[in-house]
Structure 1
């Protein structure tokens, strides 16, 4: 039982740091504003990640394309890893590092937003996706751990959770993602 309490306390401790981090909260608000603007202008919001971060990306894309709190029209949001035929073909024929960048090259438009999730901030395929998105005139929002890793240099907005512990970072990513979804939905559907 003590180990369970220690793990819960560790999660709360990171969230407490997020609660006290005004710079991170300002970055969340900047993300809300960018995504709200993109949807208002008829643009789309794309998501990418690996492993658990891919699951978080898919979860948050569904909050926009499905619904969050409100019964409202669907919003154009998609997680880029959901087409397994594409994913396996490009990984096999080219490289796993370009699976997201090629999709951005083919479907990204100026004004679109790309949210990338990497607890280290160093996932090569996410970094390459951010490079491609920036070349297309898209806004990039990086969800990372404490340092931001390589993604820091390629993120217009950086949401770097103050931790180096992957599970704690991912718990905060979904928290921040849910906050963004709620506030964007409130902005668009008062």
Structure 2
């Protein structure tokens, strides 16, 4: 694919986000309300989405655009020792749900990032959030997969491209951070 075609495909997906602006705003409000109330964000994903989870938590605990207080966000993908322990003892599908169970408390928000919405560990994290009465946001692609409908708010990037969904997820993370920085 040429640079021009690749760029056009990405721009098209980013422009399509206006068709899900209601869901994006609902997620934005839930993230903002959680942080304002003193809750923390528990964020997870696999592969490139794991990198996005770490990116999001870094923007909040560290710094996004302006100097502000550090905000509570944990990437459930960041501790290799913990993940290897959980996966060895309980299996890969428990990689994130065990952390939600151990770290989550009332008022926290679970955020899952998945281009397919079909990963067993993402589904288990959403089930753990439900069982604990925690709210959740799912950043999804490709029609949402099996995760569709499991979160408090689904943000499903239109289209069937996992690559484009991942690029849109990063855009959305920065969009959420813009609001967070404006409020803190």
Could you say which TM-score interval applies, normalised by the shorter chain? Answer: over 0.9
Conserved? CA contact 2:45–2:122, under 8 Å: yes
Name stretches of at least 5 consecutive residues in structure 2 with no aligned partner.
Answer: none
Q: 1:11-49: per-residue Cα shift (whole Å, max 9, x none)? A: 111112113x1xx21111111211111112111011000
Which SS does the other structure have where 1:91 is aligned? helix
How far the C-alpha of 1:133 sits from its partner, in A, is: 0.9
Give TM-score scaled by structure 2 length. 0.96
2:84 matched to which residue of 1? Answer: 88
Where does structure 1 differ by over 2 angstroms across 4 or more consecutive aligned residues?
Answer: none
* Distance in structure 2 (CA, Å) of the matches to 1:136 and 1:184: 25
**2:28 is equivalent to residue 15 of structure 1:** no
Q: Which residue of 2 aligns with 1:153?
A: 149
Matched, 1:185 2:184: no
Gaps of 5+ in 1: none
Q: Identify the residue that residue 49 of structure 2 maps to in structure 1.
A: 53
Which TM-score applies when normalising by structure 1? 0.93
Query: RMSD over aligned Cα, in angstroms?
Result: 1.2
CA distance in 1, matches of 2:169, 2:116: 13
Indicate if the aligned counterparts of 2:93 and 2:124 stay in contact, CA closer than 8 A.
yes
1:36 & 1:11 partners in 2: Cα distance?
Answer: 27
Partners of 1:146 and 1:157 lie apart in 2 by 16
Contact 1:63-1:181 within 8 A present in 2 as well: yes
